[in-house]
């Protein structure tokens, strides 16, 4: 039986060989390329939109704006909740909102044409936070929505609170910020208008072809039958692709207008900043329990940042509220919920659908109740767990629940009892649980799923299903179901999905409905086909149909067998040599959502999970490391354990991302971190080997006993981490993600440590800076942002016209000096992205990697290490000469990825530009736009990547990690210019953040590390948010120690100041003294004495202090 | 610019713009669409190819200065058969979009011998983001493929 077995993905061979086509891989005759013009303002009136010049531009075939489209809103949730049109019509409401679209022969031509579109904006006051939006007299995002409230309700489940039995009450505010889906495949669509047939053909990265057809037909004034979706690979969804996005419709509109196929592929910035994201929730939560640990009542006040449009906001918030009324048995739940419009890009569907946000608050507070009651957190959860037969306060009928068993399994697997006894040790364990639907009836038609099963004369089986598999292995599961019912091998089953002309209707893969709905639908269709085959076999063998067994591709009765393909030949129902069956499954076990009472049995069954996490917290830096995760899941019978386990592991990883790093950062309504580089989602080394545990009991309603798995796996994770951190160090973080700054702040508060105070009054050189910073929130920022940026200079890199490959350094310097538009090119790992980001230009690139000698590494007779400027980081690390230079090797190993290290050069690493996310992400900032522009870091999010020492108007830091270590090693640079070579000490190389003293025509020919410095003991500590990240703070200490006495030393802090910062007072303190623990602490404190932090990054001084102390401790230990 | 590049064992004479990315050359000119673009900035590893056996992100390689033998997923797929099967057996892929880059990176590592220990291997694979699987299946597949090679 194929169901329940560990079976490889049916497409595994093609999928792992790169042979599966995704939308961007589609090539059609005459295909054009689309680009989209987006609003630069969070809120503005469009007073003029003139596309005539763009329409005439070279290669342009079509331009579309709202004026070219029917004036209709997307259906979305329908009725008054529908609030978004295709492309902005008169008003833009978020940065990135689509204003126009262009299709041209090439992507570059389309891009160039966008710059010819004249748009006059009249900026309107915007609301950039929920508090702003709810303030008295706040500007309105939508004129028809007073108070900026998109949707709200007050609701009481069960009974109101009664004081009598209450033993413990906990109350706190919890915050879950915006998280990006960050699918690996960016939104991609190809559309073709077949004028002859009047059909719009679409290949698009979607989880739900049904909604593509429904919405496209509606907004483009077509019938649903006129929109045909074709089968194509889908590179991850997580909810992002469960409903339509604007770029999909605009690509189709361009194709209809141009009468040619059009491809629209989002770039990574657009994917991050303009598609939907997880809604940010603020939850004021109060929970109570009696002395025996019975949960009594909870009260929640929920405020949700909807962004500028509704999308699924109302149902996300509504579902979250139902969860509050469903997780655990309790007496009552009071909810006051508001969905609030802001001028941020809209939230939307995201795996978990309000669950992660609500459960983070709820499950964190359960632990606080357990603390208050002195009851073990697992025991408390077991005491209140939902059990089969329960109906929750929100009306969910629990037909199966192994939640208690899940809790027992994680207790055992993580060695809970032993580890729980060691609280406060820096290591801790935490647990959290979740319940989730298996397909919710939140849409009309969601209770229905249809499927087709065909059997051919050749005995092959075809499953036809209208949903899309964005990576869930649904396709494989459907083949398993058909194979099981028809008695054939999975390899005899073909599956057609998405192809709407061939498949019956299904609403798609969302709400964890894939397994439940399609498992039933295909099961029904396959059983109907099997019944037909049994009838045919019974006719042939003259027996009863129920005596016929289907196995091995044949019908078998009493040792007689006939191939099922041959039976098809006997059927008078065969069509084109196939026996075709279509069936519908309609669940009767779930009720439609009732928006008035909020009480409904939303799903036919519910999945449960318990996850336990072990963490280690670095008390010096606040960094949390996850050591272990065990995730026990009751999703019924796993129809394919490979894919169920993979879902769990992947979901937990996404949950760990939300718990520890992922957060979308905004300033002035613009998204500041639309890059994997600035978005701390987990890389392989950031997460432990997560251990899934399948707690399999057949669910009475689920297909083959199965329940949903896709979403629940990430829902409890963040709370489990927060609970583990609280257990490890006694710091309760209620505002995700749990980044080092928050943990360290908690540790400092708990331990009564004195925080760093910048005594600016003693330092006249800082008075001016302090005054400017004082002025920023008091009007200066507003002035510069509103008026100064009008004078901002903006750069667009011209195409590369020439690539020069000089073979000698003098020739390279001359080439660079001779041409104003010449730029040096090392590995290109910074220059090429920087050109796209508008912070680098140049028509001529001078390739330094071809210069003979600059690729060399040599050791002089005296032991000096000479490193050519064009040596790649990877080559350098492989050189035998470096075997003893451990700090240098550690530094290289901490930089980016092996792929980048194979390309990036030593000179390029030193010369790379600042990484400040405002600078890189299109903000008209001081460094990018000029002196009239503000530094967005002063009032923006500067917690990680900005200076805490010595910054001036720009708060960025020099990002090079090599620079930190080279400075500690007294390295010197041989700088080649058109007039010859000069030597620049590393310490004097930087003139500002990511800015060097190199003049025109100059390049770094060689870096020399003297033998004397190499003989010193050198150690590196680097704090970063993810494996390969730039330093948040780093410390390199190089010391000459003899008999425990410091003869000489260098202490350099990286990412703390505009340039690598040498802590001379600390060095002086150490020199000539015995390195004791006490002296190390004094020296570490001295390192940060000159700190002048911004409000949000003072913690970095404390972290750096701890890292210096650790470095000195390591040195003392080593000698 | 008239150049010649070696891809998967074949020489391709091409006339390219000096700013053309190897990723575009592979996908648009040579039809090798197994190499995927996910970020275009060297941040995710989806477009990883090998040049002379070394992994690089082809979105940041200029075709005009590409020297050495380029290998894409199409070129290493046969060699990687056991690795690919192990990906399937252990849940090392879901959507499959990052998978070609993971496979190419994995082949490069297997040729030189996997770094010992879980953490070292995870660090070596950290240039390839996977948003679906949580990496356990990928790391496990590499170890299994290494055993199969031994």
pLDDT digits (tens, 9 = 90+) for A539-577: 999 999 999 999 999 999 999 999 999 999 999 999 999
Nearest to A851 by CA among A799, A814, A818, A817: A814
| Interchain pair B18, A845: CB under 8 A | yes
Contacts of B28 (CB under 8 A, 6+ apart): none
| Interchain pair B77, A18: CB under 8 A | yes
Start and end residues for every CATH 3.90.1170.50 domain found in chain A: 12-124+184-236+241-274
**Average pLDDT taken over every residue of chain A:** 97
Q: What percent of chain A has pLDDT above 90?
A: 97
Interface test with B, best of A7, A10, A11, A16 (most B CBs within 10 A): A16
Q: Please state which of the four CATH numbers 3.10.20.30, 3.30.360.10, 3.40.50.2300, 1.10.287.70 is assigned to the domain occupying B2-72.
A: 3.10.20.30
Chain A CB contacts of B62 under 8 Å are 800, 803, 828, 832, 845
Give residue A3's pLDDT: 96
CA distance A21 to chain B (A): 8
The pLDDT tens digits of the residues spanning A822-874 come to 999 999 999 999 999 999 999 999 999 999 999 999 999 999 999 999 999 99
Where residue A795 falls among pLDDT bands split at 50, 70, 90? Answer: confident
Structural tokens at position A1098: 């003072």
Identify the architecture of domain A787-914+957-1015 in CATH.
2-Layer Sandwich (3.30)
| Interchain pair B33, A18: CB under 8 A | yes
Q: Are B89 and A642 in contact (CB under 8 A)?
A: yes
| Interchain pair B44, A676: CB under 8 A | yes
For residue A1024, pLDDT beyond 90: yes
B148 touches A at CB < 8 Å? no
Q: Which of residues 31-60 of B touch A (CB under 8 A)?
A: 33-46, 48, 54-57, 60
For residue A352, pLDDT beyond 80: yes
CA distance A667 to chain B (A): 23
Q: What percent of chain A has pLDDT above 70?
A: 100
Of A268, A684, A690, the CB nearest to B126: A684
Which residue shows structure tokens 């890059």?
Answer: A675
CA distance B77 to chain A (A): 5
Give the phi and the psi of residue A862 in degrees, each rounded to 5: -80, -5
CA distance A1056 to chain B (A): 24
Interface test with A, best of B23, B28, B97 (most A CBs within 10 A): B97
For residue A755, pLDDT beyond 80: no
For residue B59, pLDDT beyond 90: yes
Chain B CB contacts of A850 under 8 Å are 65
Chain A CB contacts of B86 under 8 Å are none
Give residue A595's pLDDT: 81
In angstroms, rounded to a whole number, what is the distance separating the alpha carbons of residues A912 and A679?
Answer: 20
What does each C-alpha distance from A559 to A484, A547, A549, A556, A598 come to in angstroms?
20, 12, 10, 6, 58
Element (H, E) at A76: none
The pLDDT tens digits of the residues spanning A686-707 come to 999 999 999 999 999 999 999 9
Chain B CB contacts of A6 under 8 Å are 89
Q: Is A711 a catalytic residue?
A: yes
Chain A CB contacts of B48 under 8 Å are 899
| Interchain pair B60, A829: CB under 8 A | yes
Q: Are B94 and B131 in contact (CB under 8 A)?
A: no
What does each C-alpha distance from B35 to A24, A455, A458 come to in angstroms?
11, 36, 36
B3 touches A at CB < 8 Å? no
Q: What is the CA radius of gyration of chain B?
A: 15
Give residue A1's pLDDT: 65
Start and end residues for every CATH 1.10.150.120 domain found in chain B: 76-149
Element (H, E) at A218: helix A209-219
CATH 1.10.443.10 fits B76-149, yes or no: no
Chain B CB contacts of A845 under 8 Å are 18-19, 62
Per-residue pLDDT, averaged over B5-27, amounts to 98
Closest chain A residue to the Cα of B84, Cα to Cα: A16
Chain B CB contacts of A186 under 8 Å are 38
Start and end residues for every CATH 3.30.465.10 domain found in chain A: 787-914+957-1015
Under CATH, to which class is A448-586 assigned? alpha beta
Q: Are A560 and A541 in contact (CB under 8 A)?
A: yes
Interface test with A, best of B65, B96, B119, B126 (most A CBs within 10 A): B96
Of B38, B85, B94, the CB nearest to A646: B94
CA distance B127 to chain A (A): 5
Nearest to A1080 by CA among A1056, A1034, A1046: A1046
Give residue A728's pLDDT: 98
Contacts of A818 (CB under 8 A, 6+ apart): A1001
The pLDDT tens digits of the residues spanning A913-925 come to 999 999 999 999 9
| Interchain pair B94, A647: CB under 8 A | yes
Of B95, B118, B126, the CB nearest to A471: B95
Start and end residues for every CATH 3.30.365.10 domain found in chain A: 280-441+593-748, 448-586
CA distance A804 to chain B (A): 9
B127 touches A at CB < 8 Å? yes
CA neighbours closer than 13 Å in the CB half-sphere of residue A872: 20
Under CATH, to which class is A280-441+593-748 assigned? alpha beta
Give residue A776's pLDDT: 97
The pLDDT tens digits of the residues spanning A147-177 come to 999 999 999 999 999 888 999 999 999 999 9
CA neighbours closer than 13 Å in the CB half-sphere of residue A208: 26
How long is chain B?
A: 150
CA distance B7 to chain A (A): 16
Per-residue pLDDT, averaged over A927-940, amounts to 97
Q: Are A567 and A536 in contact (CB under 8 A)?
A: yes
Interface test with B, best of A8, A14, A17 (most B CBs within 10 A): A17
Q: What is the CA radius of gyration of chain A?
A: 31
Closest chain B residue to the Cα of A677, Cα to Cα: B43
Catalytic residue among A215, A228, A696, A711: A711
The CA-based diameter of chain B, rounded to the nearest angstrom, is 46
Chain B CB contacts of A689 under 8 Å are 118, 136, 139
Give the 3-state DSSP-derived string for chain B, with helices as H, strands as E and coil as C: CEEEEEECCEEEEEECCCCCEHHHHHHHHCCCCCCCCCCCCCCCCCCEEEECCEEEEHHHCEHHHCCCEEECHHHHCCCCHHHHHHHHHHCCCCCCCCHHHHHHHHHHHHHHCCCCCHHHHHHHCCCCCCCCCCCHHHHHHHHHHHHHHC
Chain B CB contacts of A1028 under 8 Å are 126-127
Per-residue pLDDT, averaged over A496-520, amounts to 97
How long is chain A?
A: 1119
Per-residue pLDDT, averaged over A305-316, amounts to 96
The pLDDT tens digits of the residues spanning A523-543 come to 999 999 999 999 999 999 999
| Interchain pair B35, A12: CB under 8 A | no
Give residue A78's pLDDT: 85
Angle ∠(A927,A928,A929) on CA atoms, nearest 5: 100
What is the CATH code of the structural domain delimited by A12-124+184-236+241-274? 3.90.1170.50
Closest chain A residue to the Cα of B120, Cα to Cα: A685
In angstroms, rounded to a whole number, what is the distance separating the alpha carbons of residues A85 and A107?
Answer: 25
């Amino acid at each position: 039986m194929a169901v329940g077995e560990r079976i490889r993905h049916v497409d595994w061979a093609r999928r792992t060989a790169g042979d599966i086509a995704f939308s961007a891989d589609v090539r059609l005759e005459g295909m054009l390329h689309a680009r989209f013009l987006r609003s630069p303002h969070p809120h503005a009136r469009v007073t003029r939109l003139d596309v005539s010049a763009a329409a005439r531009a070279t290669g342009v075939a079509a331009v579309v704006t709202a004026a070219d489209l029917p004036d209709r809103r997307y259906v979305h949730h329908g009725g008054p909740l529908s609030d978004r049109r295709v492309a902005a019509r008169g008003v833009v409401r978020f940065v990135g909102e689509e204003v126009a679209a262009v299709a041209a022969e090439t992507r570059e031509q389309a891009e160039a044409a966008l710059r010819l579109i004249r748009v006059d904006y009249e900026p309107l006051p915007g609301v950039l936070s929920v508090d702003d939006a709810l303030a008295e007299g706040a500007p309105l995002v939508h004129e028809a929505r007073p108070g900026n409230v998109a949707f709200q309700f007050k609701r009481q489940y069960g009974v109101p609170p009664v004081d009598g039995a209450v033993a413990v009450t906990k109350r706190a505010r919890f915050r879950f910020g915006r998280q990006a889906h960050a699918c690996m495949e960016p939104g991609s669509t190809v559309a073709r208008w077949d004028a002859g047939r009047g059909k719009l053909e679409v290949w698009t990265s979607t989880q739900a072809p049904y909604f593509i057809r429904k919405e496209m037909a509606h907004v483009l004034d077509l019938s649903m039958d006129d929109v045909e979706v074709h089968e194509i690979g889908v590179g991850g969804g997580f909810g992002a692709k469960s409903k339509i996005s604007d770029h999909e419709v605009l690509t189709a509109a361009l194709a209809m207008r141009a009468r040619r196929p059009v491809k629209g592929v989002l770039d990574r910035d657009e994917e991050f900043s303009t598609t939907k994201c997880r809604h940010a929730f603020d939850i004021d939560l109060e929970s109570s329990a009696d002395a025996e640990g019975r949960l009594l009542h909870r009260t929640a006040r929920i405020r949700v940042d909807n962004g500028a449009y509704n999308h699924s906001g109302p149902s996300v918030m509504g579902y979250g509220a139902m969860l509050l009324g469903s997780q655990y048995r309790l007496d009552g739940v009071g909810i006051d919920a508001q969905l609030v419009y802001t001028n941020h890009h809209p939230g939307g569907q995201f795996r978990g659908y309000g669950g992660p946000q609500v459960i983070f608050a709820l499950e964190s507070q359960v632990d606080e109740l357990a603390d208050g009651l002195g009851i073990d957190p697992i025991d408390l959860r077991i005491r209140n767990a939902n059990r089969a037969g329960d109906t929750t306060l929100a009306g969910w009928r629990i037909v199966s629940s192994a939640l208690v068993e899940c809790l027992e399994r994680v207790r055992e697997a993580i060695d809970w009892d032993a580890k729980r006894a060691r609280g406060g040790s820096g290591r801790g364990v935490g647990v959290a649980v979740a319940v989730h639907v298996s397909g919710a009836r939140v849409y009309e038609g969601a209770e229905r799923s249809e499927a087709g099963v065909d059997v051919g004369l050749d005995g092959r089986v075809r499953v036809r299903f209208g949903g899309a598999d964005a990576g869930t292995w649904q396709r494989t599961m459907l083949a398993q179901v058909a194979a099981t019912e028809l008695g054939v091998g999975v390899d005899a089953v073909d599956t057609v999905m998405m192809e709407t002309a061939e498949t019956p209707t299904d609403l798609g893969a969302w709400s964890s409905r894939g397994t439940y709905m399609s498992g039933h639908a295909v099961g029904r269709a396959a059983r109907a086909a099997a019944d037909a085959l049994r009838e045919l076999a019974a006719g042939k063998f003259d027996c009863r149909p129920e005596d016929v067994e289907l196995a091995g591709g044949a019908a078998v009765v009493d040792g007689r067998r006939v191939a099922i393909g041959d039976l098809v030949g006997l059927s008078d129902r065969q069509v084109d040599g196939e026996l075709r069956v279509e069936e519908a499954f309609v669940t009767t076990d779930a009720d439609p959502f009732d928006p008035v009472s909020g009480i409904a049995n939303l799903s036919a069954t519910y999945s449960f999970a318990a996850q336990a996490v072990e963490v280690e917290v670095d008390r010096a830096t606040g960094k949390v490391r996850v050591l272990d995760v065990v995730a026990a899941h009751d999703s019924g019978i796993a129809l394919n354990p490979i894919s169920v386990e993979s879902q769990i592991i992947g979901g937990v990883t996404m949950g760990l991302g939300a718990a520890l790093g992922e957060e979308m950062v905004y300033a002035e309504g613009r998204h500041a971190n639309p890059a994997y580089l600035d978005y701390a989602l987990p890389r392989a080394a950031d997460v432990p080997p997560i251990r899934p545990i399948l707690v399999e009991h057949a669910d009475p309603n689920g297909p083959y006993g199965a329940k949903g798995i896709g979403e629940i796996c990430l829902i409890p994770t963040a709370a489990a981490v927060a609970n583990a951190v609280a257990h490890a160090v006694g710091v309760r973080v209620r505002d995700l993600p749990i980044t080092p700054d928050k943990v360290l702040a908690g540790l400092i508060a708990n331990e009564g440590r004195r925080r760093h105070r910048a005594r600016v009054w003693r330092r006249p050189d800082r008075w001016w800076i302090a005054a400017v910073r004082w002025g920023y929130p008091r009007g200066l920022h507003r002035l510069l942002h509103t008026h100064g940026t009008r004078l901002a200079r903006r750069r667009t890199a011209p195409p590369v016209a020439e690539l020069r490959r000089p073979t000698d350094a003098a020739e390279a310097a001359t080439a660079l000096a001779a041409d104003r538009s010449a730029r040096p090119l090392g590995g290109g790992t910074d220059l090429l992205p920087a050109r796209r980001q508008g912070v680098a230009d140049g028509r001529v690139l001078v390739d330094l990697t071809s210069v003979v000698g600059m690729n060399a590494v040599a050791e002089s007779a005296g032991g000096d290490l000479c490193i050519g400027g064009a040596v790649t980081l990877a080559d350098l690390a492989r050189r035998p000469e470096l075997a003893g230079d451990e700090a240098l090797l550690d530094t290289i190993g901490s930089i980016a990825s092996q792929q980048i290290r194979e390309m990036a050069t030593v000179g390029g690493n030193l010369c790379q530009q600042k990484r400040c996310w405002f600078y890189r992400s299109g903000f008209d900032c001081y460094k990018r736009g000029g002196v009239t522009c503000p530094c967005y870091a002063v009032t923006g999010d500067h917690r990680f990547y900005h200076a805490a020492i010595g910054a001036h108007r720009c708060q960025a830091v020099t990002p090079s990690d090599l620079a930190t270590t080279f400075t500690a090693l007294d390295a010197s640079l041989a700088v080649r210019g058109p007039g010859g070579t000069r030597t620049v000490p590393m310490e004097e190389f930087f003139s500002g953040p990511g800015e060097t003293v190199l003049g025109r025509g100059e390049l770094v020919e060689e870096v020399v590390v003297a033998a004397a410095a190499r003989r010193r003991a050198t150690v590196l500590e680097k704090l970063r948010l993810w494996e390969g990240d730039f330093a948040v703070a780093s410390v390199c200490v190089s010391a000459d120690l003899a008999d425990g006495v410091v003869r000489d030393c260098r202490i350099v802090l990286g990412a703390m100041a505009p340039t690598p910062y040498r802590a001379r007072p600390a060095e002086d303190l150490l020199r000539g003294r015995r390195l004791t623990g006490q002296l190390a602490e004094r020296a570490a404190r001295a390192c940060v004495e000159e700190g002048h932090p911004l409000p949000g990054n003072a913690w970095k001084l404390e972290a750096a202090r701890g890292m210096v102390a650790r470095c000195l401790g390591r040195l003392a230990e080593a000698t | 610019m008239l150049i010649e590049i070696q891809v998967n064992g074949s020489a391709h004479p091409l006339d390219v713009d000096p700013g053309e990315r190897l990723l575009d050359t592979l996908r648009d000119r040579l039809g090798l669409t197994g190499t995927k673009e996910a970020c275009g900035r060297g941040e995710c590893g989806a477009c990883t190819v090998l040049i002379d056996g070394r992994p690089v992100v082809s979105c940041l390689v200029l075709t005009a200065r590409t020297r050495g033998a380029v290998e894409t997923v199409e070129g290493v797929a046969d060699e990687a058969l056991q690795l690919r099967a192990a990906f399937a057996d252990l849940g090392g892929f879901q959507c499959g979009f990052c998978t070609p880059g993971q496979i190419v990176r994995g082949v490069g590592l297997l040729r030189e011998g996997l770094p010992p220990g879980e953490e070292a291997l995870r660090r070596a694979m950290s240039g390839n983001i996977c948003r679906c699987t949580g990496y356990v299946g990928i790391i496990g597949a590499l170890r299994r493929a290494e055993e199969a090679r031994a």
